[in-house]
Structure 1
Amino acid sequence: MFAAHRNPASAYRRVGVEIGIETASPHKLTTMLFDGALERIAQARGAMARRETELKGRLITQAIRIVEEGLRCALDREKGGELAGNLNELYIYLNTRLLQANLRDDDEALQECSRLLAQLRDAWAGIATEAKAA
């Protein structure tokens, strides 16, 4: 009747993520997107070092999709003004660099993307801290 999971830990994580998404605030969801992109880039760097080309490509593609479909598409360019425009350009740049990293096995490009996303994530997390303090 029920499908057996090959990896119970994986199933548990998947359920945990789904519950986290259902109960998260919009601010937390954005933080989760940053974390997901950073995790995929870190995993892609490992795959690149191990010369696991197919895995590296899948992970970088996932990072690109998170940036494009999660972060960039969520921008409100009308209400966000100049900041939203700048973020839009930065997300386009990040996706270009991720694509180049994939095509050229460029670890430096992955490191650059990771640094930029980490800075954005930290700034985003700071907004929540300031909002709670106010």
Structure 2
Amino acid sequence: MPPIFPGVRENRGVSVQIHIEDGAPPYEQVRAQISEQARSGALPVGYRLPTVRGLAETLGLAANTVAKAYRALEADGVIETRGRNGTVIAAVGSTAEREVAAAAEVFAERVRRLGVGEEVGLAAVRDALRAAFRA
């Protein structure tokens, strides 16, 4: 595990680091890091995440901040809450792929109705994806 530098806090169970100097809000940093670890397999399907309060305390964040990240992760299909059984990493591959396919179908139909053509639609998607992954 990398050393902790001033302005950086991390949780020892889940590898999440909050960079205070980073321009991204802390909830977004938590969301992005857990999402990436789930997609890469570093956090396997079924892995039980810390409670909202537990992770918030470990990271030195407000519980509402971690709760917001967990809500976003659940909306994205990355995690699922199982009541008293905790919050676990969901089988993201199939859920995420289905959502991407559904969004692509809606977009493709809109491009067709606008009559701008396939190349214009593909260029718009490439530009949007590049912008999203730079953020």
User: Shorter-normalised TM-score: what interval?
Assistant: 0.3 to 0.5
Higher strand share: 2
Query: Normalising by structure 1, what TM-score?
Result: 0.32
Q: Bigger radius of gyration, 1 or 2?
A: 2
Higher helix share: 1
Higher relative contact order structure (alpha carbons within 8 Å, sequence separation ≥ 6): 1
